[in-house]
Structure 1
Amino acid sequence: MRARVTGFLGSLLMVLLLCACSAVTQPAGPSIRQPALESKSLIMADGAVLPLRSWLPEAEPKAAIIAAHGMNDYSNAFDGPGKGLAAKGIAVYAYDQRGFGQAPHPGWWSSTETMAEDLRTASRLIAARHPQTPLYLLGESMGGAVVIETGAHAPPPEIRGLILSAPAVWGRASMPWYQRAALWLSYKVAPGWVLTGRGLKIRPSDNIEMLRALSKDPLVIKETRVDAIHGMVDLMDAAQEAAPHLELPLLLLYGAHDEIIPPEPTWAAVAGLPHLGTRQRAALYENGWHMLLRDLQAQVVIDDIAAWVEDQSAPLPSGADRAASGKLETLASETR
């Protein structure tokens, strides 16, 4: 009996050890060429082709925005806001980040460094196309974390400012111990497991029609590998640590009904911004959810972005900046 138990435990240990060795990432490879901007793609230095979408105004743009999408999404996330901003004279470019959409290795994580370097490369290429046009970075959720990491460490000199929509700043430092433990164990034991999120009562937006369309879109990832989640949390760790080092002007957008990124780490990140109240501001949307740029009130957010790009010191048309200031004052009084 003891021999059988010992054999079973040995076999189980072997399985766990084999699983522990199976985490896979797909970071950028060695440089083999000069990066290039084509009409519908960005070509990185390692030869990776990242599909590109653009929404351009009829006249010469008064500003240009490079948009980075969220987890399991792809560049089409910015179709609505891209059209809305183009109508206001702002060019918008968005690309499928590695591991998402039609970019290489869909479903597989690259790395924080790869994602940030890809955004720096995209910035240089698009700035060269619009040499006299102010350039901004816009990131939604995961994309917001990429923008923070890019903006805090060696940001391209062409960048005039950052726009962070519900940025993913929920790192391990702000997670409960049991979530950290569950992620650590699953990553060590079975990094190739896939999770669907079914059964989670989380609502990312009040735009139900849009959510239904995403559920039917084959380019939106529905099953997420544990090692990709682990990589995402690594990225959020990096963004959480980098946020206090941001020097560029920025506008951080957050919805009061956000059920994806908790308010505590978000407001902590806002409060820690080095130039909050001068060239760095937050906006709180009382009717906003996580997917602010695609919520039913998306036009309100789009109008605020356009107004901020036009004049970074002027009050936002919606008053969401005043709502954020009030929220910060309330939080500060509660901690006194």
Structure 2
Amino acid sequence: MLLLAACAPTVQQAMRPPAAFQGARFDAEAHRFYSFDGAPLGLTVWKPADREPWAVVIGLHGMNDYAETFYLAGPWWAQQGIATYAYDARGQGRSPDRGVWGGTRLMTEDLRTAVAVARREHPGAIVAVVGESMGAATAIAAFSSDDPPRADRLVLVAPAVWGWSTMPKSYAATLWVGAHTFPFRAVTPPKGVRRRITPSDNTEMLRKLGRDRNMVFTTRIDAVYGLVRLMERASDGAGNLNVPTAFLYGAKDQIIPRASAMRAARSLPPAARTALYVNGYHMLLRDLQAETVWRDIEGFVRDPAAPFPSGAPRLLPAREALTGRR
């Protein structure tokens, strides 16, 4: 028992707020979002230059990435009058305990806090949460909980929903054993896998990421385990979203298995909107056709009932047509 306890997956714990802590806030100049417990999470902000924003986006990035996920979308949205506050998840980017899994409990509470701060700073604005991959999974976990964030819109971009229930049993067993025997060991995908998988058609952007010191290039096994647990919760929670929701997916996504995405999309509430981008990869916000996605998100934030400006087909019928399924 002692051996198992010693090898249990590591999950971050809430910080003890410093004596001078005055509550959660965004500090754009210091590039910090001080969350509910005083944790100084990395923050990048893009705002309209000449006016108050009519909408605010809270941006959530994917695994091993950070707020620069929005470095192309943020300035474009700012030109449309939208402010973007993108923060680094715990253990990622510029946030503390880099590489150590932040845990669903803290990550969802950070999101609730960020939405509350945005509402306080921009009381008349629409508040939308835009999550990519792991960020989308975090958002689903928060919005499907008993204490959802007080946001007006939810946009799920290539959501990470590859949980235990859709993972091959051999993968799941290997991951569980690894996370409970040598959880601290860092792993990288084999070179063959990296060559075969293309996360985006924007090769210049991918090269930039490869040189970015804020990216995490090796992942602790217990962090992968934590991510899969989060993805399972997101997969299970997709049907319990009580906020106008858009689910965006690329037909060329090689990261999130098609079956997992379809399972989650089918469980969405009837009013949820879906879009399939035939030329889209996993990094929809940074692909070569990304402006199409940014424009659709802006349109959805403005009016969740209006057609997407791109005319992108709905995910389910289009995907079933592409795969020959009925």
2:26 is the alignment partner of 1:37: yes
1:230-269 correspondence to structure 2 within 5 Å: 230-269=225-264
1:1-336, aligned counterparts within 5 Å? 17=3, 21=7, 23-30=9-16, 33=21, 34-39=23-28, 40-58=31-49, 59-153=51-145, 154-157=147-150, 159-199=151-191, 200=193, 201-275=196-270, 278=271, 280-320=272-312, 322-327=313-318, 330=321, 334=325
Distance 1:247 1:323 in 2: 20
Partners of 1:285 and 1:323 within 8 A in 2: no
TM-score normalised by the chain length of structure 2: 0.91
Gaps of 5+ in 2: none
Displacement, 1:18?
7.3
Q: State the Cα deviation string for residues 208-247 of structure 1 (Å, max 9, x = none).
A: 1111111111110001000000010111011111111111
Question: Partners of 1:331 and 1:78 in 2: how far apart?
Answer: 29
AA partner of residue 132 (structure 2): E
Displacement of 1:325: 4.9
Q: CA deviation at 1:43?
A: 1.2
The separation in 2 between residues aligned to 1:146 and 1:80, in whole angstroms, is: 22
Separation (CA, whole Å) in 2 of partners of 1:329 and 1:202: 23
1:3 alignment counterpart: none
Equivalent position amino acid for 1:41 in 2: R
The Cα offsets for residues 253-275 of structure 1, whole Å up to 9 and x where unpaired, read as: 10000000011111111111122
Contact 2:128 2:153 in 1 (8 A): yes
SS at match of 1:122: helix
Per the TM alignment, residue 156 of structure 1 is displaced from its structure 2 partner at its CA by: 2.6
What amino acid sits opposite 1:263 in the alignment? R
Percent identity at matched positions?
43
Compared CA separation, residues 18 and 315, structure 1 to 2 (3 A): closer
Q: What is the RMSD of the two structures over their aligned residues, measured on CA atoms?
A: 2.0
Write out per-residue CA displacement over residues 263-305 of structure 1, whole angstroms, 9 at most, x where no aligned residue: 1111111111122xx3x11110000000000001001111111
Higher Rg: 1
Kindly provide the CA deviation profile for residues 95-132 of structure 1, in whole angstroms up to 9, marking residues without a partner as x. Answer: 11110111000011021011000010011011100000
Name 1:8's counterpart in structure 2.
none
CA displacement at 1:31 relative to structure 2 = 5.6
Alpha-carbon separation, structure 1, partners of 2:96 and 2:244: 32
Give the aligned length. Answer: 315
Please give the TM-score of this superposition, normalised by the length of structure 1: 0.89
Residue 330 of structure 1 deviates from its aligned partner by: 4.5
Deviation at 1:176, TM superposition (A): 0.9
One-letter code of the match for 2:47? L
Tell me: CA distance 1:198–1:215, structure 2 relative to 1, closer, same or farther (3 Å): farther
Gaps of 5+ in 1: 1-13
Deviation at 1:202, TM superposition (A): 1.3
CA contact (8 A) 1:271 1:328 kept: no
SS at match of 1:252: strand
- What is the CA–CA distance in structure 1 between the aligned matches of 2:296 and 2:40, rounded to whole Å? 33
